[in-house]
Structure formats: C-alpha cells, structure tokens
Amino acid sequence: MEATLALACELIRRPSVTPEDADCQQLMSERLTAIGFTCTDMPFGDVRNLWAERSGSNAEGPIVVFAGHTDVVPTGPETQWQSPPFEPTLRDGLLYGRGAADMKGSLAAMVVACEAFVAAHPDHQGRIGFLITSDEEGPAVNGTVKVMEALGAQGKAIDWCIVGEPSSTSELGDVVKNGRRGSLGATLTVKGVQGHIAYPHLADNPIHRALPALDALAREVWDEGNDFFPATSFQISNINGGTGATNVIPGEVTVLFNFRFSTEVTDTELRQRTEAILDAHGLDYDIDWNLSGQAFLTPSGALVEAAVESIREVAGIDTQLSTAGGTSDGRFIAPTGAQVLELGPVNATIHKIDECVRADDLPRLAAMYRGILERLLLN
C-alpha cells in the first residue's frame, strides 16, 4: 500500500474521539524521530500535545510548522455506517473512516512529505516543526493555545504554518484558507420583574424590553468587509425565557448571539457598540463575552506563493484563496506574527456518517506539502 495511505489507515484505526489521542501522536513521534526530529510531549490537563522540531544546516533559520489534530468528532450511530468507522475501508477509490478527511489523512501526508523531503535534502536550510493536539474538536482550551503559550515562554516563534484542515471544496487544492473570521459570542441576560400576566402594570416583561434592542442589533451594519472577508455578521442562536406557564410574565430572558467578524473591526469595538445599543434602549442587563478567536489573514508572501505554486505543479490548477468557514487552530498561531494557511482534503464529508477521502488524494497532498517545503527551505 502507498505510504501515505498506509499511515492514514493506521491513524484511523485508533479511536481518538476528542479529547482522546489513542496513541496517534506516539505513532507520529516514532516516524518523526526516525528522520531526526526531536519530539516533546506537552500535555495539559487531559489533552495530549506534541511539539516536534528538526534543524537542517541552519539551526537558527526560519521554521515551517505543520499543525493539526489527532482527535476526531464522535461517530454518531455506528449502525448507520457502511463499514465500522474505526476500521479504515477502501471502497470505489475512497478511503472511509472517522478522521479520513478531518484530519488524519492530512497528518499522514505531513509525515510522509517530511520523510521524503529529509531523505532528499538532509541538510536543508532552516527548520521543520510539528504542532499536534488532541483538543481541536473539543473545547480547544488545553491544546494549541497552551502549546503556543509555552513556545512563546521559551522564545520560540513560528515563521510559516500549514494547518491540515480540509480546505478543498470540489477537488484537492482548489481552495486554500489564507485567513479566518474572528468569532465573538455573548450571553445576554435582560432583567425584568416577574408577575401575573393579567396584571402587567405590576410586572416588567424583559422579553418585550429586549426585542427592540435585538432588532437594532440585527439591523446594524457592523462593517462592509473587504477584499478578503465578507461583512461582519451578527446572529442570534438562542432565546430562553419564561416559566413554561402561559399566565406568568418572566423575570428575565437570556439571549445567546455570535459575531463572525472581519479584519475591518475589532472584538473591542463590537463589544462597545453592542453595549451602547443595549444602553440606548434602557435595558437592565448582564452580558458575558467569549472571544473564541481573532480574525487573521495571510494575504501574500512566501507561504502563500509556495502553496499556490506547489498546488499548480501537483494538480495543474490555480487555487482560490478563501477566508470562508468556521474557526480553526490557526487562530491561536497567527496572532504571534506567523504566516498561516490551511491546505487539506475535500471537506464534503467531514463530521458526517461515512466520512471519506479520495485515496489517491493523500499521496498528492503529501506531494503538495513536500513542494511547499522545497520552496521555503531550499532557496
């Protein structure tokens, strides 16, 4: 079996449902140690993390890091899978299994790409690194963010980072994520006075008070976006209030909402403008904010150019740069000044029953990763 496909199968066999790693990182460490990487376990809480680093001819040169995660989402009802989710199965040119696309296929391609690159260029310039966590699909509090803090405390900085998230849409390499929108969530509690619904003058309905303010927030134009990002969006996801009885005015209502924001606005500005609107409506409220990640963008430079050229060489296509979609662990890496992009398999089946990836895409992805290394570390 082709090397990348074989390693992907070995990783899929390990049931690493978040935050479990199921010794996937140990398997990767063994392969990387064999080609001269120094591997360091960096556990935090119940999360396993791996930092691996290899120096070429210049130990002080720039470093290109492969970042990814060994954890996968739960399988859902296994009886609905055509084949067991942790038994990698080849069928009609596709590799089936939980994590095949998100993102054990990418991890295998990263390792095999490095094995081939080091074999051909043992004295390459600069350094190669791996930052692997088992806490990407979960809360993401003891994974990449903690490793980045630890690396920062050691004075280590990442120059270029390739995240193996499944970025492709229709065919391998057609889309590369060169940025992501920020995510800012909030829990808003609007307070009123509970009372009998027949005597509204003796109560204060917080739902009635909240609705005009929520409408104003939904109608607000937060920014116009830019060449790389759509306009910032505001979406309400939950509204909860009341006792369940039809004759009781509730004492409070809780609203959950989220901003997906561009680089045209900061999370601080969004908080201030939101609270100004709430204040203008005279609400008695509490609000708890949760910043999941800052917006980031890698518009141009050596990393993007290397990826575009490598994809063109391997797949014969011109890739599209995109910032669409949700968040990724790149949000923890980019704020340090690193150039970050995401390149991985087609994402059509991620998190679904019968997750799969085209089997012949995996060695081609390894070739793309190797091409990026060559363009960054051989010039």
Query: What is the per-residue pLDDT across 19-65, written as a single tens digit (0 to 9) for each?
Result: 999 999 999 999 999 999 999 999 999 999 999 999 988 778 999 99
Tell me the two tokens of residue 11. Answer: 């990783």
> What confidence score (pLDDT) does residue 163 get?
98
- Longest CA span, the chain: 82
For residues 145 and 201, what is the distance between their CA atoms, to the nearest angstrom? 51
Tell me the two tokens of residue 301. Answer: 């430079």
Positions marked active-site: 71, 136
Q: Do 49 and 145 meet the contact criterion of CB atoms below 8 Å apart? A: no
Q: Cβ contacts of residue 47 below 8 Å, gap of 6+?
A: 19, 133, 134, 135, 138, 142, 143, 146
> What confidence score (pLDDT) does residue 60 get?
83
For residues 109 and 296, what is the distance between their CA atoms, to the nearest angstrom? 25
As averages over each run of 10 residues, the pLDDT of the chain (379 residues) reads 96 98 98 98 97 89 97 97 98 98 98 98 96 95 97 96 98 96 97 98 98 98 94 97 96 98 96 98 98 90 97 98 90 94 97 98 98 94
> What confidence score (pLDDT) does residue 250 get?
98
Which among 37, 181, 11, 40 has a CA at the least distance from the CA of 103?
Answer: 11
For residues 98 and 85, what is the distance between their CA atoms, to the nearest angstrom? 5
Which among 38, 63, 39 has a CA at the least distance from the CA of 127?
Answer: 63
Please count the residues of the chain. Answer: 379
Q: Cβ contacts of residue 26 below 8 Å, gap of 6+?
A: none
For residues 61 and 42, what is the distance between their CA atoms, to the nearest angstrom? 23
The helix (run of H) or strand (run of E) holding residue 286 is strand 285-293
For residues 139 and 185, what is the distance between their CA atoms, to the nearest angstrom? 14
For residues 139 and 45, what is the distance between their CA atoms, to the nearest angstrom? 12
For residues 151 and 157, what is the distance between their CA atoms, to the nearest angstrom? 7
For residues 325 and 287, what is the distance between their CA atoms, to the nearest angstrom? 26
